[in-house]
Amino acid sequence: MMDAETAGLLAQSLRRAFEDGDAASADAALDEIGWCEALAAEGIAVVPLLFAEQGAANAASGALDDLLTAVLGLPPGARTAFVLPEFGGRSVPGSVRHGDLAVRGLGTARMAAADHAVVVTEEHRAVVVETGRLRIQPVKGVDPRLGLARVEGAGIPAPGAGRATDAGWTDALAAGRLALAYEMTGASRTMLRLAREHALTRVQFGRPIGSFQAVRHRLAECLVALDGGEAALAAAVEMAEGAWPARVAPVPAGIAKALAGRNARTVARHCQQVLAGVGFTDEHDFHHYFRRVLALDGLLGDARTLTRELGEELLRTRRLPAVPSL
Amino acid sequence: MDLQEFRDGLDGWLDEHQPDLVPPHGSDVSLDAEMEHLSKVKRLTFDAGWMRRGWPERVGGLGGSTLMRAYLGEALASRDLIEPGIYSMTEVLAPTMIEFARPELAAEMVPRLLRGDETWCQGFSEPSTGSNLGSLSCRARRDGDAWAVSGQKVWTSLAQYADRCVLLTRTGSPESGSRGITALFVDMDSPGITVRPIRAMHGRDEFCEVFFDDVRVPGDRILGEVDGGWAVAMDLLPYERSTSLWHRGAFLRQRLERLLASPSGDALDPAALGEVVQLAFAFHARSRATQYRMAGGERLGAETSIDKVLLATTEQAVYDLVADAAAADVALADDPDGARWRTEFLYSRAATIYGGSAEVQRNIIARRLLDLGVDR
């Protein structure tokens, strides 16, 4: 495990890496910091730091591609992107018929510039394809700064159809969900910080609006949601087993991501109301974070889907999921 | 003894002694019978040494990590052997005695509470003093080297069974607020004390009014300093939101598991169930971290208000789920199991009211954790 000093230094470098918010320069800075090496050396322990900072800074990078690629046992790097499932869903993006690969999914900001893309297929095999064989269409959507892309392809020759990953896809989903949950939590923390600063400085009826109970309770509600969600996330990280690539337990990871997605909506609703008119303008930073959590919630399974799936699974087993013991 | 040894030993002991520890069940079980059962569980676990772990030796404990206290209540609640509300009063009152009573007084009294030989209550709230604790008016005036107490308390849980009371009194001027409060440790059989139980909506005499008419309390029964009672109260309240909440969380988990395994489980809506289980997971994770902070010697404070809000929200969500899936039981059942769901559902409505209301917790969070300045 990392000591506190190393973690502090890493957090500082990450904040610098995410300063200008541009995905290409963030990737270059992550490369310089040695993100992929840190991932290999420290495993899941570095995921909270990086993704929370990325979310807090409203930055985009290919860090998620690296994480998912590494969990599948493939070499990560700035030239390798990862094809995510379609928005809201969790099904694998690839399918192989008669040796031909078809692809339908999403890419992060790295996709357009990458040389290769990792595609997981229905048989849970990972195929590495040249991005030139894929149709990559930038998505503006609700969050243009995130730089998502639609990725499609058909008739791509896939001899032998890649290497088997078996449980790897489940592991990748779980690790990716933790990462996205931390990123949404980081973004939510920034929304709360913006709303808090506004509540302290905005004066109405001769006093800061932060002295009104209606405002205070909304912000308190945000902190409760975030601290509860972050405790669940930390527990999910703690429940990861073994050396890197550590097996992240899928159920706690799904719970943590669903909580982070739902909490982000709660935080956004309260903070937007506290920020009121100014928070509704394009000039204020709030909307960038709101847009970000709306987009991130839909990656690797959204809160609604994960919650329903959890309930259905519990009704099948009639047992509550394991929790970390004291 | 480390936590793992404690856990293994206790689990084995509970397997063996479970038949002696099973509480009386049924809709006709009185609170008297429940209290008697609680005393028995405390006595048996104390005599076997489990209840003494995690408490200092100077008050009859055997030392070691407070995590063992957390696990004992968890194990008892998970096996449905205790009702955590009445069990966990110890977790609130014993630490206060250890911190603020004369060492001899703590050494004499705390073992009686741990062993279940005595029941104690907490005299804080008054008819005009609910959330605004600093405005209390139950008066203690000097009478030689003793105190004479006159006034009234209300919502005092278990006062009708209590042998002692940790009582907050007004010793400063009526306007002295939080600066003029003194904490006393009062024998409930003192002349001049009258207790009137109040029947709560779920059918239990959950709490009481307690009247003090010129009650004499010896001077050496003071807890902390004269006019220093606010510190006692502020020290106690975070305990009310730490280990006892962990115990309650274990109880809720056990009840949710029961619901899931029962025929009513068929009627559960998957999305609603998923959401409640997620909430319960978050509470568990949060409270677990709190238990470790406490065991590490950290002083608990305002951050435990987060734990309280999470627990209250989870508890009501669990029983909202019960009310949907086991609607007929909650509405109509007179059999013991069905009636128990109703009783628990009704009791869950108080989760955002007692032990510092949801609003007071949010005030604390806004002021102390978000640093939003004073509330005007």
Q: Is A211 close to B284, i.e. CB distance below 8 A? A: no
Tell me how far apart the alpha carbons of residues B353 and A13 are, in angstroms, rounded to a whole number: 46
CA A233-A238-A241 angle, 5° bins: 125
Please say whether the beta carbons of A164 and B338 come within 8 A. no
Compare all CA atoms of chain B with the CA of A310 and give the residue at the minimum distance.
B274
Q: In this predicted complex, what is the ipTM?
A: 0.96
Please say whether the beta carbons of B41 and B82 come within 8 A. yes
Instruction: Please state the rounded mean pLDDT for residues A20-32.
Output: 88
Q: Count Cβ atoms below 10 Å from residue A316 Cβ, excluding itself.
A: 9
Tokens at A307, concatenated: 């919650």
Compare all CA atoms of chain B with the CA of A325 and give the residue at the minimum distance.
B288
The minimum CA-CA distance between B325 and chain A, rounded to whole Å, is 13
Please say whether the beta carbons of B316 and B351 come within 8 A. yes
Identified catalytic residue from B126, B240, B315, B344:
B240
Q: What is the DSSP letter of B368?
A: I
Of B345, B315, B298, B347, the C-alpha closest to B250 is B315
Q: Is A42 exposed, middle or buried, given 0-12, 13-18 or 19+ CB atoms closer than 10 A?
A: middle
User: Which residue in the set A216, A259, A319 is minimally distant from B375, CB to CB?
Assistant: A216
Least confident of A142-151, A234-243, B78-87: A234-243
Asked whether the predicted pLDDT for residue A5 surpasses 90, the reply is no
- Render pLDDT for A83-93 as a digit per residue (tens, 0 to 9): 999 999 888 99
pLDDT of the residue at B68: 98
Of A150, A149, A178, A126, the C-alpha closest to A301 is A178
- In B48-199, alpha helices (H): 67-78, 84-87, 89-100, 103-114
pLDDT band at residue A1 under the 50/70/90 scheme: low
- Render pLDDT for A34-81 as a digit per residue (tens, 0 to 9): 999 988 888 888 899 999 999 999 999 999 999 999 999 899 999 999
pLDDT of the residue at A3: 79
The rounded percent of chain B whose pLDDT value lies above 70 is 99
Tokens at B164, concatenated: 């002692």
| 3 state DSSP class of A242 | coil
**Burial code of B129-153, b = ≥16 C-beta within 10 A, e = fewer?**
bbeebebbebbbeeeeeebbbbbbb
Tell me how far apart the alpha carbons of residues A221 and B366 are, in angstroms, rounded to a whole number: 9
- Residue of B69, B281, B286 for testing the chain A interface, max A β-carbons within 10 Å: B281
Please say whether the beta carbons of B138 and B151 come within 8 A. yes
Verify whether residue B240 is a known catalytic residue.
Answer: yes
Rg for chain A (alpha carbons), in Å?
20
Tell me how far apart the alpha carbons of residues B347 and B319 are, in angstroms, rounded to a whole number: 9
B309 to chain A: which residues are within 8 Å by CB?
A: 220, 224
Paired residues of A208 in beta bridges:
A203
Asked whether the predicted pLDDT for residue B181 surpasses 90, the reply is yes
Asked whether the predicted pLDDT for residue B121 surpasses 80, the reply is yes
Asked whether the predicted pLDDT for residue A4 surpasses 60, the reply is yes
pLDDT of the residue at A9: 86
Fill in the amino acid letter for B16.
E
The minimum CA-CA distance between A236 and chain B, rounded to whole Å, is 9
pLDDT band at residue A161 under the 50/70/90 scheme: low
B313 to chain A: which residues are within 8 Å by CB?
A: 224
- Render pLDDT for A214-234 as a digit per residue (tens, 0 to 9): 999 999 999 999 999 999 999
Rg for chain B (alpha carbons), in Å?
21
Asked whether the predicted pLDDT for residue B317 surpasses 90, the reply is yes
| CB contact set of A250 (below 8 Å; sequence gap of 6+) | A170, A171, A173, A174
A308 to chain B: which residues are within 8 Å by CB?
A: 270-271, 274
Tell me how far apart the alpha carbons of residues A129 and A83 are, in angstroms, rounded to a whole number: 10
Of B343, B335, B337, the C-alpha closest to B319 is B343
The kind and range of the H/E element at B129 are none
pLDDT band at residue A160 under the 50/70/90 scheme: low
Tokens at B286, concatenated: 């949060």
Strands (DSSP E) found in chain A = 80-82, 94-97, 100-107, 116-120, 125-130, 135-138, 149-157, 163-164, 203-204, 207-208
Q: Is the peptide bond before A144 cis (omega within 30 degrees of 0)?
A: no
Q: Is A255 close to B277, i.e. CB distance below 8 A? A: yes
Compare all CA atoms of chain A with the CA of B69 and give the residue at the minimum distance.
A326
φ, ψ of residue B162 to 5 degrees: the values are -75, 140
The contact set of A with B (CB < 8 A) is: 196, 199-200, 207-208, 210-211, 213, 216-217, 219-221, 223-224, 227-229, 231-232, 234-235, 252, 255, 258-259, 262, 304, 306-312, 314-315, 318-321, 323-326
φ, ψ of residue A135 to 5 degrees: the values are -90, 115
Average pLDDT over chain A, rounded to whole?
Answer: 93
pLDDT band at residue A236 under the 50/70/90 scheme: very high
B70 to chain A: which residues are within 8 Å by CB?
A: 326
Asked whether the predicted pLDDT for residue A244 surpasses 70, the reply is no
The kind and range of the H/E element at B147 are strand B146-157
Asked whether the predicted pLDDT for residue A242 surpasses 60, the reply is yes
Asked whether the predicted pLDDT for residue A100 surpasses 60, the reply is yes
User: Which residue in the set A220, A307, A314 is minimally distant from B362, CB to CB?
Assistant: A220
pLDDT of the residue at A11: 86
User: Which residue in the set B260, B278, B310 is minimally distant from A255, CB to CB?
Assistant: B278
Asked whether the predicted pLDDT for residue A173 surpasses 90, the reply is yes
The rounded percent of chain B whose pLDDT value lies above 90 is 93
Q: Is B281 close to A311, i.e. CB distance below 8 A? A: no
pLDDT of the residue at B3: 96
pLDDT of the residue at A167: 64
The kind and range of the H/E element at B214 are strand B207-218
Q: Count Cβ atoms below 10 Å from residue A185 Cβ, excluding itself.
A: 28
The minimum CA-CA distance between B88 and chain A, rounded to whole Å, is 18
If phi > 0 it is left, if psi is from -120 to 50 it is alpha, else beta; for residue B202 that is alpha
Asked whether the predicted pLDDT for residue A122 surpasses 90, the reply is no
Average pLDDT over chain B, rounded to whole?
Answer: 96
Tokens 């309260």 found at: A270
Tokens at A309, concatenated: 């799936």
- Residue of A227, A262, A266, A305 for testing the chain B interface, max B β-carbons within 10 Å: A227
Compare all CA atoms of chain A with the CA of B254 and give the residue at the minimum distance.
A320
pLDDT of the residue at A102: 96
How far CA B225 is from CA of A104, B216, B232, in Å, comes to: 72, 18, 9
Tell me how far apart the alpha carbons of residues B230 and B133 are, in angstroms, rounded to a whole number: 9
The rounded percent of chain A whose pLDDT value lies above 70 is 95
Q: Count Cβ atoms below 10 Å from residue B97 Cβ, excluding itself.
A: 23
Q: What is the torsional sign of CA A62, A66, A69, A71? A: negative
Q: Is B30 exposed, middle or buried, given 0-12, 13-18 or 19+ CB atoms closer than 10 A?
A: exposed
Paired residues of A232 in beta bridges:
none
Q: Is B278 close to A323, i.e. CB distance below 8 A? A: no
The minimum CA-CA distance between A323 and chain B, rounded to whole Å, is 7
Q: Is B67 close to A231, i.e. CB distance below 8 A? A: no
Q: What is the DSSP letter of B134?
A: G
Tell me how far apart the alpha carbons of residues A268 and A101 are, in angstroms, rounded to a whole number: 40
pLDDT of the residue at B301: 93
Least confident of A35-44, A149-158, B132-141: A35-44
Tell me how far apart the alpha carbons of residues B168 and B137 are, in angstroms, rounded to a whole number: 9
| 3 state DSSP class of A180 | helix
Instruction: Please state the rounded mean pLDDT for residues B199-225.
Output: 96
Q: What is the DSSP letter of B161?
A: T
Q: Is A311 close to B257, i.e. CB distance below 8 A? A: no
Of B45, B297, B254, the C-alpha closest to A320 is B254
Instruction: Please state the rounded mean pLDDT for residues A115-142.
Output: 93
Asked whether the predicted pLDDT for residue B376 surpasses 90, the reply is no
